[in-house]
Amino acid sequence: MATHYYAVTWDQLHRDARALAWRLMDLGPFQGIVAISRGGLIPAAIIARELDLRLVESVCVITYQDETRGEPVITKPPAAAGDGSGFLIVDDLVDSGTTARVVRGVLPHAHFACVYAKPAGRPAVDSFVTEVSQDTWILFPWDTEQQFIEPLARRGGA
């Protein structure tokens, strides 16, 4: 279980994905993007738009169930990307690096970029925008919803 939680808003994710695209501009040109499903789908769409890329492929990897990490399983390989030459891999977050290493094994010649990185996973990626502590669980906007919270005084100070 995570020690800290950090909520990312849609606006912040959009800004951070655009910042990543800015960093990637001079590293191309890229032929296309491989989004790691599911977390990388939205950042990949933003980056594809910013880099004017029309070929968007996906690789589906199951690693987590809620906050529980398991052995990664590729349920859909990125057929259009070949060995990754000329492609950009995009994910929302690199945590331990497990998913990144599995995808790198399939696409060894691609450039791997993620929006957020934890220290243990940083060596597994080529580019990222923001580093967060290893004990932080990022709450992405697709995993949360806004709701009313009672004022502290009405909750008995809890």
CATH of the domain at 128: 3.40.50.2020
Give the pLDDT band of residue 2 (cuts 50, 70, 90). low
Q: With a cut of 80, say whether residue 70 has pLDDT above it.
A: no
Catalytic residue among 66, 83, 95, 143: 95
Please confirm, yes or no, whether 91 is among the known catalytic residues.
yes
Query: Count of domains in the chain?
Result: 1
* Alpha carbon distance 91, 103 (integer Å): 11
Catalytic residue among 83, 92, 126, 135: 92
* Alpha carbon distance 60, 40 (integer Å): 10
For residue range 74-131, what is the model confidence (pLDDT) as tens digits? 999 999 999 999 999 999 999 999 999 999 999 999 999 999 999 999 999 999 999 9
Note down the domain range covering 131: 4-24+31-144
Catalytic residue among 26, 52, 83, 91: 91
pLDDT at 157: 58
Q: Specify burial of residue 19 (Cβ count, 10 A radius: 0-12, 13-18, 19+).
A: middle
Is 152 within the bounds of a domain?
no
Which among 114, 122, 121, 158 is positioned nearest to 140, based on CA atoms? 114
The encoded tokens of residue 132 equal 């967060």
Which among 100, 137, 131 is positioned nearest to 116, based on CA atoms? 131
Q: Who's near 98: CB < 8 A, 6+ residues apart?
A: 63, 69, 72
Please confirm, yes or no, whether 92 is among the known catalytic residues.
yes
Give the pLDDT band of residue 145 (cuts 50, 70, 90). confident
Is 105 within the bounds of a domain?
yes
Q: Coil, strand, or helix at residue 46?
A: helix
Q: Which residue bears the tokens 């009672």?
A: 150
* Alpha carbon distance 26, 149 (integer Å): 45
Please state the pTM of the whole predicted model: 0.87
Is 131 within the bounds of a domain?
yes
* Alpha carbon distance 87, 36 (integer Å): 13
Is 155 within the bounds of a domain?
no
Is 156 within the bounds of a domain?
no
Is 151 within the bounds of a domain?
no
pLDDT at 99: 93
Is 47 within the bounds of a domain?
yes
Please confirm, yes or no, whether 126 is among the known catalytic residues.
no
Is 51 within the bounds of a domain?
yes
Q: Residue 98: what residue type?
A: T
pLDDT at 156: 72
